[in-house]
Structure 1
């Protein structure tokens, strides 16, 4: 039926009437205030900033990997490559010519123009994620639903002002220093300056355009990419149900799920750990030198994110030598008449004796080269390539180094061997000694992985053996590290091999699927139990969202000051008071590590050692005051509760005489303002 002339005239008029009616209704009824609209648009802008970084990383990775085909699994790998390259580029810019708005914006614009086809291909690959949610039974469906709840809640929290401990101590504080100075210079106030900072470089980029909230949102997106990489790999190796269980095993623990909303580097480590395993396993299957190199690159990126990422370098070399021995080296192939498989479905293949040495050397060399910019930076600034660890240098003297490392936790040999179990069942977020909540699924389901062995194809067995070698290597290094220093008992420092642990947990579920009874599906019950565990964490995450009132902030119903006051108590007004001091003021924080909201006016006590270090160097209250005045300090912010806790708890490093000096020191200061019982701001007395 053809349109008549009156219809052609009246249709636009009718549309105009409808639009005008909607506008008129909205003007009189006002669905939201101007401040609410501005807050929502700001949140969307910050999501956009993080998405631009991820898209550019994906396009850059695809360009470097030179692959025409594209799947979601490959897209995750491309994003990992691109994020690593971008981090190194930002570091080199900041360390050499410095960076301002145009120095950072120009490469982004040029990158989007030159890589527009690769970026479009990377974006299209994410359509595949829709297939993850098809054809699920009740247990797996609940796991998927609870995963979305955890992701959504953490995204909202990420879009709120940062309150996380490590973020305010260094993950966000260092980028804020760099942006304030316009370049990357030595920051003696923070010994964490010497740590590898690949992820913090991406945070610096995001913070320049979208603030700290954009950096936290970027890490949330990195977490999504990491989960996608693990899911896709497990789905291709086993099946979709097992892939969802792998995701659940990671997210059922508070430490990792909560890290999605923090500007931490945990999910960057998980991403590089997963990509390392995927490429290393592919090398074992193809013997392609390129796959080995890419695996080493991902290990190098992990090492450039945190020194503990070096676990992957050690594990990679162990796998290479395992693959070398003719009796145990295994390579999954399809049986043929010319080369039938042995009964176990794997081919024992003799390799040239020196191949293992060459491959191990190449692997270690590539990972070391990727780390080298951070070592060079440290050497030029302090003379210690591994600053702030190993030996005193720069602002890290022997006293501070001892404080940072701490005395190892006393464990029996059996307890040390059982560290993964102890950390899984006794570990609590914020509770000594593990300071992490891992959830029950990683440990429980990985123990059932042997049930899957008889139903595995050769390629699946190869993945399992590779993952097992990496996991055992990680566990051994965990045990050794825990015996060396107090700090190295914490599971969060070993998250780089947790994706491997999750993959073996998926194998455990896959084995249970093959153990179903005729009238009873054990795997269904286990999936329901996994969903229950994940659901508990989803509930806890939702309650955390409500307690924080993060949604009120994102929707403009609460401003930043009110949000921080509610979330951080007396810490927030203490920071406000420091920022209101005269411009030439310099404040030393005692027993308070979090300096994000008061730098550059303040110097945080990042390793809780400022007083003890000053006491060892100067001996008396008067000498300490003279030293602090010479360093330019005008005020002291004392965290009273922190000092009281150390006074009562740390009887190993402090003696009663130390506190006599401390009390005399405080008595000589002029009290300016108190913030409940938590903080007191003092002014240093003028030079007599």
Structure 2
């Protein structure tokens, strides 16, 4: 009983909070997927691979050329179960593994309360909790980051080559989820260098070879199908050129030169204060504790016992290089500012924060009690917000049979969901070119949809020297039967300085050369006469 149920009121509170948050996430994971990136590319790859019976090249969606360490697993579960809801469940499992690894290492070195606290700190971040119910891939980074921390600690204790190779394998697996996991590999390299500088070359070769072995399937896939082992970066590749690379690149849009340079010096604090889920910049609600609690370590350093202090040092050795990597990305790119790209570092932050909070003094002022009270309030608010989100997206109604799958999706996808449903009325075999709309996952099976992945279908056609009339004629000759315009998308991107001149010509062109079929819910379908 003692192993299964916490011994103190504080740890019971933490355990119950974690349980409630995970239960609410499970409710959302069991419902059909609708989150943007999921229906833009995370599920599109598995959907196409299953339909075609092979993993092939798909030049219309460049995201499918990225490493797909989790997407392939999603395809396996979707194929076995015949349901796309298995993908979010698998993503939740990766998140749970990350929580267990982070909580387990904290408990091993600092006791039960620290273990539960590490898990609670991660779950108190609203954006982490939301990801538990979505079929994204970011929790793969969380899981591999937590496992890499455990492996690093084990290597520090044992010094065995096998454990060092395991660190490399975990880093390579993380790189097979997202390219930004290169920061984790950098952190692991710095860690082994700082721990054993005299063996730097030998250890580095072992770490690098293991990482390369784990990443090799994705490099081979990229090379064979997309003509670039790290597609689409550095070497171009299938349906990729300098113009598209320039469109995709966000270099020069980071914190440097934006008037927010000061945020680089305090990036975790800035991300905590200014980060909002789906907002600009950080795009991530981390909560008040996850990124800031580690800053308490200097205050309590002398209060840590030897084991806890050693683990805290491990977290620092891994965390600081990851922070430096994040700072570099944030300095040069708005996309690189996103906290979500750095989830591999959150387990180290959570463990460090748990160690710090667990060692706060009780005298002369009971700081520990005050912080626990504030943490309790934070967890209660987190549970409330999670329950509110779950009710708003109507996942319970779907699971109880009060909403059909189609009605649930139209409710959450809005006009896009309704537009995809209307495409069911098109003749079988029809080809639809989407304009200023990238999502193709819910395109009817009998219809082929080409997403506007970089919102450059129109501008790219005109920049190749064609007139609007010629561009439309070429699309028709290539097999397109219809254009589906996102009116909101065009309005949002129309004044994009990169394509403003071309975009200004679109409406006049389609009104002149095409025939509207229907217009509703923010979408207009055009046909060639």
- Is it true that 1:597 corresponds to 2:469 in the alignment? no
More displaced, 574-583 or 597-606? 597-606
1:443–1:580 distance in 2 versus 1, CA, 3 Å:
same
Deviation at 1:242, TM superposition (A): 1.7
1:549–1:382 distance in 2 versus 1, CA, 3 Å:
closer
- Is it true that 1:635 corresponds to 2:482 in the alignment? yes
Q: Paired residue for 1:559, among 404, 411, 421? A: 404
Q: Paired residue for 1:571, among 416, 420, 441? A: 416
> Is the contact between residue 620 and residue 661 of structure 1 (CA under 8 Å) also seen in structure 2?
no
Deviation at 1:488, TM superposition (A): 1.2
Q: Paired residue for 2:117, among 245, 255, 260? A: 245
Q: Paired residue for 1:616, among 454, 463, 478? A: 463
* 1:45-94 deviation digits (Å, cap 9, x = unpaired): xxxxxxxxxxxxxxxxxxxxxxxxxxxxxxxxxxxxxxxxxxxxxxxxxx
Deviation at 1:420, TM superposition (A): 2.0
Q: C-alpha separation between the residues in 2 aligned to 1:143 and 1:136?
A: 10
1:134 corresponds in structure 2 to 6
2:327 corresponds in structure 1 to 479
- Is it true that 1:606 corresponds to 2:478 in the alignment? no
Deviation at 1:141, TM superposition (A): 3.3
Q: C-alpha separation between the residues in 1 aligned to 2:398 and 2:14?
A: 29
Q: C-alpha separation between the residues in 2 aligned to 1:317 and 1:603?
A: 42
2:367 corresponds in structure 1 to 522
Q: Using structure 1 for the length normalisation, give the TM-score.
A: 0.73
> Is the contact between residue 253 and residue 437 of structure 1 (CA under 8 Å) also seen in structure 2?
yes
> Is the contact between residue 242 and residue 506 of structure 1 (CA under 8 Å) also seen in structure 2?
yes
- Whichever of the two has the greater Rg, that structure is 1
> Is the contact between residue 281 and residue 462 of structure 1 (CA under 8 Å) also seen in structure 2?
no
SS in structure 2 of the partner of residue 638 of structure 1: strand
Question: How do 1:384-399 and structure 2 match up within 5 A?
Answer: 384-399=228-243
> Is the contact between residue 405 and residue 487 of structure 1 (CA under 8 Å) also seen in structure 2?
no
Q: C-alpha separation between the residues in 2 aligned to 1:665 and 1:485?
A: 35
Q: C-alpha separation between the residues in 1 aligned to 2:413 and 2:125?
A: 24
Q: Paired residue for 1:235, among 91, 102, 107? A: 107
- Is it true that 1:532 corresponds to 2:377 in the alignment? yes
Q: C-alpha separation between the residues in 2 aligned to 1:283 and 1:305?
A: 24
- Is it true that 1:626 corresponds to 2:473 in the alignment? yes
SS in structure 2 of the partner of residue 441 of structure 1: coil
Q: C-alpha separation between the residues in 2 aligned to 1:132 and 1:606?
A: 48
Q: C-alpha separation between the residues in 2 aligned to 1:149 and 1:582?
A: 47
Q: C-alpha separation between the residues in 2 aligned to 1:624 and 1:450?
A: 63
> Is the contact between residue 579 and residue 601 of structure 1 (CA under 8 Å) also seen in structure 2?
no
- Is it true that 1:378 corresponds to 2:250 in the alignment? no
Q: Paired residue for 1:288, among 116, 141, 160? A: 160
Q: C-alpha separation between the residues in 2 aligned to 1:289 and 1:561?
A: 53
Deviation at 1:319, TM superposition (A): 0.9
Q: C-alpha separation between the residues in 1 aligned to 2:27 and 2:249?
A: 35
- Is it true that 1:666 corresponds to 2:510 in the alignment? yes
Deviation at 1:640, TM superposition (A): 0.6
- Is it true that 1:217 corresponds to 2:72 in the alignment? no
SS in structure 2 of the partner of residue 227 of structure 1: helix
1:534–1:665 distance in 2 versus 1, CA, 3 Å:
farther
Q: C-alpha separation between the residues in 2 aligned to 1:194 and 1:492?
A: 20
Q: Using structure 2 for the length normalisation, give the TM-score.
A: 0.94
Deviation at 1:510, TM superposition (A): 2.2
Give the length in aligned residue pairs: 521
Q: Paired residue for 1:315, among 177, 187, 207? A: 187
SS in structure 2 of the partner of residue 479 of structure 1: helix
* 1:382-406 deviation digits (Å, cap 9, x = unpaired): 3221112224321222222222222
Q: C-alpha separation between the residues in 2 aligned to 1:421 and 1:602?
A: 43
Q: C-alpha separation between the residues in 2 aligned to 1:142 and 1:417?
A: 35
- Is it true that 1:461 corresponds to 2:309 in the alignment? yes
Q: For structure 1, which runs of at least 5 residues remain unmatched after alignment?
A: 1-127, 326-352
> Is the contact between residue 436 and residue 485 of structure 2 (CA under 8 Å) also seen in structure 1?
yes
Deviation at 1:365, TM superposition (A): 1.4
* 1:301-352 deviation digits (Å, cap 9, x = unpaired): 1111111112111111111111134xxxxxxxxxxxxxxxxxxxxxxxxxxx
SS in structure 1 of the partner of residue 136 of structure 2: coil
Give the 4+ runs in structure 1 shifted more than 6 A: none
